[in-house]
Amino acid sequence: MNLLFFYSLRNLLTRRLTTALTALGMALVVFVFAAIIMLAEGLQKTLVDTGSYSNVVVIRKSSGSEVQSGIDRLQASVVETQPEIGLGQNGSQLLAKEMVVLITLEKQDSASRSNVVIRGVSQASLSLRPQVRLIVGSLPRPGSSDIMVGKSIAKRFKGAGLGESLVFAQRSWRVVGIFDAGSTGYSSEIWGDVDQLMPAFRRPVYSSILFSLRNADDFQAVQTRIQNDPRLTLEAKRETVYYKEQSEAMATFLRILGLSLTIVFSIGAVVGAMITMYAAVATRTAEIGTLRALGFRQSVILIAFLMESLLLGAIGGCSGLFFASFLQLLTVSTTNFQTFSELAFSFTLTPGIAIKSLSFSLIMGFAGGVLPAYRASRMNIIAALREA
Amino acid sequence: MKEQRSNLPSKPPVIRITDLVKSYRRGSQSIPVLEHISLDIEEGEFLALMGPSGSGKSTLLNLIAGLDQVDSGSIRVDGAEITDFSEMALAAWRAGHVGFIFQFYNLIPVLTAFENVELPLMLTNLSKKARKAHVATALSMVNLQDRMDHYPRQLSGGQQQRVAIARAVVTDPTILVADEPTGDLDRYSAEDVLHLMDELCGKLGKTIVMVTHDPRAARKAHTLKYLEKGVLTDAPQIAVPERI
Amino acid sequence: MLLKLLFRNAFRHRLRTLLTIGGIAVAILAFGLLRTVISAWYAGVDASSASRLVTRNAISLIFPLPLSYKEKIRSVDGVRLVSYGNWFGGVYIDEKNFFANFAVEPGSYFSLYSEFLLSDDESAAFFRERKACVAGRKLARRFGWKIGDTIPLRGTIFPGNWNFVLRGIYQGKDKTIDENQFFFHWEYLNETLRKTMPRRADQVGFYMIGLKRPDQAAATAEAVDGLFRNSYAETLTETEKAFQMSFVSMSEAIITVILLVSYVIIVIIMAVVANTMAMSVRERMGEYAVFKTLGFGRGYLAALIIGESLTLTALGGLLGIGLTFPTARAFGRAVGQFFPVFRVSADTILLDVAAAAIVGVVAAVIPVWRIVQVRIAEGLGRIG
């Protein structure tokens, strides 16, 4: 009923301050709700995008991540003999033996330090990772002290800009290029020649092996073979799965934190809505009596008041979502609990999140209005009319 | 069923109340309000109900209007035995058969005069065009067509009451029920409103049952009844002072 | 008289008042909890000793230092005692059962960490046995360990299945000490490495240095680092507090978010209380006008309104603070693995009180302003 809608809407507009305050409460809750989910979404997106479905990561069994893993040359050569490994354009294997270590670098804007991943890469590393693109400068020359840094590192840390040098492992390394890895985790890494970095850090073993499958379905066969080989103490995972697991702890933490906060906040907002709606009902007692006297049914009264609180929820929800969408301009950098290294990611708004947030605000509106609306509909007509 | 009245042709009374009993509950006590009331109201009659406060006049009005339930007895309005109706049936019945005029107008503040009058029509199946026509007619009857887009707060007391009257007649109800319609009005507005009610009765043949304290209003009515201690009489037991 | 009015007015609308108080209680509870989470993050920092230094590889924590450094460090001026160890990173059955486990040199380590209390018998048993281990009281309770149990750990950094026998359960000297840690003999780790991975033997993850005098911290740290500058494994020596802080600052972003969120809660509840006050005052406009005609000044009226607002927030705040303790306890049990020490500090309570007071005052601002403005006649007109 059109009139019903306008009746509810106009009643909201009449008491502007009250409506604004109640909607503000709900908007804030939706803002926090959306922000936390957007953060968890952004985190997982970063880490999932970081992998390719047809790539396989091999690390030492039970090591958890590349940083704690070690693969000696003998084991590495066994892995290289797997028939399912794809071949590149020039006929060479699409396989890269890499070394991953953490170093501490000083941040650009504060004196605090953070652990940063240094990845020793080989020839095939770049082709195995199509998300990574050089944007400034040149690739590190094999056999030199050249390194290239991810966009996020160049921006955030001292001495990591183009042309500058970083000193570690008793050598000076020149930054010759900056690469963009989109929203993936590589943007927070520094890459150099593995054959230079390994001796510099005195590590005779690789950390991981990355290769591409000729056929994405071959994964099961390779995994079984590698994990059952008695000479090897390795495990193989799809790259996407590997990275998803890396974010598990943080994403879960964020989600739990976010959920518990939202529940608490929403109680506050719902309380606010209830107060407003009860007051609305109390003020319009005579009106309700009149409507009932005129012949409007109890259900109509119920719907009218419920609609009012739903509208409050909708207004709050839209505003909250609107402001939350601006969060996408921010980037968050923190240390991933699991890998212990620096990770930069941003808030990601998806249609799914928008729908969830709006539904949530409508639920809050409903929760706040259902009891007062019920009371309004159950009023005794004569008692209500007497309040005139 | 058909009762003959001396001057009028044999038409059944529009409202026939038989042996009505109503009490109110206060905790465990039962306070009787109406004691075996019987009353016939003919079509086109303008009846004024008077009596001291607390005598039960409003209670009787509410029962006739289908706003409350009797303890025992019968109320027949235009042939329908409303004491048998359920809550939902009463609501539907009120929408089509009763027009209300309250002391404090009871207009919906967030609706315009037009929309307030349109309100009862929303419960019918009429098209938007038909509704508009009915509202226009009702508003012209009370002489407020030029104010139809105004909100109640923009109208004077007398004008608001006239809008309320328009709302009361827009569905062409069987009976009009008025509870102290002039109670909140100044002398001139009260005169206007009573004149209107008189016309509705005379020209349109509407049956009006009015509860009032106001002797001016009482004078405009055709029939006067007194309610005292739950009993209906034709003459007051206590003298009603003239109010200026 | 004022108090009487305050109380009665506040409870005029019982449902509305109860709802408001409920909302305030929930908000204060959430605020207190978040603050507690933040202080839990800093628990390690707070429990740090000023007379201990941590030495580690300057490149990053994942690189080891040679065992040979020990004697050199001991000879530095100002050093009272040197201990060493490795972060073991073992997994007990499932990754979800995370707790900190270290291989340490038992005698020196427990001498340095005098806040870990072990009975003499337990100490002796631990020191004696190669495969013995010691666990904190909270940790032992969490898994139901008893003295004599065999505790298996799956190595991640040092692969293999390692078994230890629990010979001691330590208690913290006071409530701020982490009772979730696990220690075993460094020698056991090292001799196993010598057999299986000789390349990795004779290396430590960190050195713990006990200072003769806390005010010598900076100088001693500098001296130790100076010893190993320009060598293959350069060191970074800092106070234990600075070391713990570096961990906290890694999660800086998240801590900031939590802090911001805790302020947002306060704003939300401010909106709710302001709403309640605005409504109450609007309804009673006529009454306030009558007060004015009787001769009560603006100050009195303002005090009435602010007082009512504060009454609401005080009641809600008390309820919230009261609920904080049991909730924190439950929460602490749930997030035990992330935050070994989770308690509500006196500071947090003070902040709660301050928050309630501020909300009470701010929420009353607009209504007070309106009351002060309204003219008597206008106000009386509203009685209607």
Instruction: State which H helix or E strand residue C358 sits in.
Output: helix C346-373
What is d(CA A367, CA A274) in angstroms, rounded to the nearest whole number?
Answer: 8
What is d(CA C259, CA C379) in angstroms, rounded to the nearest whole number?
Answer: 43
Task: Name the more confident of B7 and C52.
Answer: C52
Q: pTM for the full model?
A: 0.72
- Looking at residue A348, its pLDDT comes to 86
- Looking at residue B236, its pLDDT comes to 65
Confidence tier at B244 by pLDDT (50, 70, 90):
very low
State yes or no: pLDDT of A309 exceeds 60: yes
- Looking at residue C329, its pLDDT comes to 81
What is d(CA A214, CA A211) in angstroms, rounded to the nearest whole number?
Answer: 10
> A264, A277, A323: which to substitute to probe chain C, counting the most C Cβ within 10 Å?
A264
Structure tokens at C62: 């994942």
Residues of C in contact with A261 (CB under 8 A): 30, 34, 261
Confidence tier at B10 by pLDDT (50, 70, 90):
low
Cα A19 → chain centroid: 33
Residue C126 CB: number of other CB atoms within 10 A?
23
> B93, B106, B123: which to substitute to probe chain A, counting the most A Cβ within 10 Å?
B106
State yes or no: pLDDT of A145 exceeds 70: yes
What is d(CA B162, CA B188) in angstroms, rounded to the nearest whole number?
Answer: 13
State yes or no: pLDDT of A112 exceeds 70: yes
What is d(CA C244, CA B143) in angstroms, rounded to the nearest whole number?
Answer: 84
Q: How many residues does chain C have?
A: 384
For residue C24, give the nearest of C362, C334, C347 by alpha carbon. C362
Confidence tier at A344 by pLDDT (50, 70, 90):
confident
**A196-205, A357-366, C4-13, C84-93: the lowest-pLDDT one:** C4-13
- Give the SS3 label for residue B54: coil
State yes or no: pLDDT of B241 exceeds 90: no
Per DSSP, B239 falls in state: P
- Looking at residue B211, its pLDDT comes to 92
- Looking at residue A230, its pLDDT comes to 86
Beta bridge partners of C55: C207, C237
Is it the case that chain A and chain B have 3 or more CB pairs lying under 8 Å apart? yes
Residues of A in contact with B120 (CB under 8 A): 294-295
Task: Name the more confident of C47 and A146.
Answer: A146
What is d(CA C103, CA C187) in angstroms, rounded to the nearest whole number?
Answer: 8
On the 0-12 / 13-18 / 19+ scale of CB atoms within 10 A, C384 is exposed
- Looking at residue C49, its pLDDT comes to 83
Compare CB distances from A295 to B94, B102, B109 and report the shortest one's residue.
B94
C230 shares contact with chain A (CB less than 8 Å): yes
For residue A372, give the nearest of A296, A288, A306, A290 by alpha carbon. A306
CA C289, C291, C296: angle at the middle one, nearest 5? 125
- Give phi and psi for B142, each to the nearest 5: -100, 5
**Pair C371, C282: CB distance under 8 Å:** no
- Looking at residue A107, its pLDDT comes to 84
Give just the sign of the alpha carbon dihedral C72, C73, C78, C81. Answer: negative
What is d(CA A41, CA A346) in angstroms, rounded to the nearest whole number?
Answer: 9
| pLDDT, tens digit, 9 for 90 and up, residues A247-300 | 777 777 777 777 777 887 888 888 888 888 888 888 888 889 988 988 888 998
Confidence tier at B3 by pLDDT (50, 70, 90):
very low
Compare CB distances from C249 to A112, A253, A267 and report the shortest one's residue.
A112
What is d(CA C285, CA B161) in angstroms, rounded to the nearest whole number?
Answer: 27
What is d(CA A276, CA A17) in angstroms, rounded to the nearest whole number?
Answer: 11
Per DSSP, C360 falls in state: H
Confidence tier at B240 by pLDDT (50, 70, 90):
low
Burial pattern B85-107, b for ≥16 Cβ within 10 A else e, equals: beeeebbebbbebbbbbbbbbbb
**Pair C150, C94: CB distance under 8 Å:** no
Distances (CA, A) of C153 to A62, B22, C95, C377: 12, 84, 11, 82
What is the mean predicted confidence (pLDDT) over A179-193? Answer: 86
Which residue positions in chain C have pLDDT lower than 50? 382-384
Structure tokens at C171: 């208690």
Location of structure tokens 């009871």: B106
| pLDDT, tens digit, 9 for 90 and up, residues B155-205 | 998 899 999 999 999 988 989 999 888 888 888 888 888 999 988 888 888
**Pair C206, C85: CB distance under 8 Å:** yes
Are C268 and A264 in contact (CB < 8 Å)? no
Structure tokens at C319: 């309820």
Instruction: State which H helix or E strand residue A78 sits in.
Output: helix A73-80
Residues contacting residue C298 through CB under 8 Å, at least 6 positions apart: C371, C372
Q: How many residues does chain A have?
A: 388
**Pair A308, A277: CB distance under 8 Å:** yes
What is the mean predicted confidence (pLDDT) over B27-39? Answer: 85
Q: How many residues does chain B have?
A: 244
C254 shares contact with chain A (CB less than 8 Å): yes
| pLDDT, tens digit, 9 for 90 and up, residues B65-113 | 888 888 899 999 988 899 888 877 888 888 888 888 888 878 888 788 9
Structure tokens at B138: 């009702």
Are B92 and A295 in contact (CB < 8 Å)? yes
Average pLDDT, chain A: 86
- Looking at residue C377, its pLDDT comes to 59
Compare CB distances from A293 to B88, B94, B115 and report the shortest one's residue.
B94
**Pair B208, B101: CB distance under 8 Å:** no
Location of structure tokens 């007194």: B226
- Looking at residue B239, its pLDDT comes to 52
Residues contacting residue B118 through CB under 8 Å, at least 6 positions apart: A3, B131, B132, B135, B170
**Pair B217, B182: CB distance under 8 Å:** yes
Distance from CA of C267 to the nearest CA of A (A): 8
**Pair C270, C362: CB distance under 8 Å:** yes
Find, in chain A, the residue whose alpha carbon is nearest to that of B184. A388
State yes or no: pLDDT of A343 exceeds 70: yes
Average pLDDT, chain B: 85
Find, in chain C, the residue whose alpha carbon is nearest to that of A33. C261
**A326-335, B7-16, B19-28: the lowest-pLDDT one:** B7-16
State yes or no: pLDDT of B125 exceeds 70: yes
Percent of chain C, pLDDT > 90? 34
- Looking at residue C382, its pLDDT comes to 45
CA gyration radius, chain A = 30
Question: Which chains form contacts with chain A, at 3 or more CB pairs under 8 Å?
Answer: B, C
Task: Name the more confident of B99 and B5.
Answer: B99
On the 0-12 / 13-18 / 19+ scale of CB atoms within 10 A, A4 is middle
**ipTM value of the model?**
0.72
Residues of A in contact with B104 (CB under 8 A): 286, 388
Are C199 and A333 in contact (CB < 8 Å)? no
- Give the SS3 label for residue A85: strand
Q: How many distinct helices (H) and strands (E) make up chain C? A: 15, 12
**Pair B92, A273: CB distance under 8 Å:** no
**A126-140, A186-200, C2-16: the lowest-pLDDT one:** C2-16
Average pLDDT, chain C: 85
Find, in chain C, the residue whose alpha carbon is nearest to that of A59. C156
Per DSSP, B242 falls in state: P
What is d(CA C162, CA C160) in angstroms, rounded to the nearest whole number?
Answer: 6
What is d(CA A216, CA C292) in angstroms, rounded to the nearest whole number?
Answer: 83
**Pair A81, A94: CB distance under 8 Å:** no
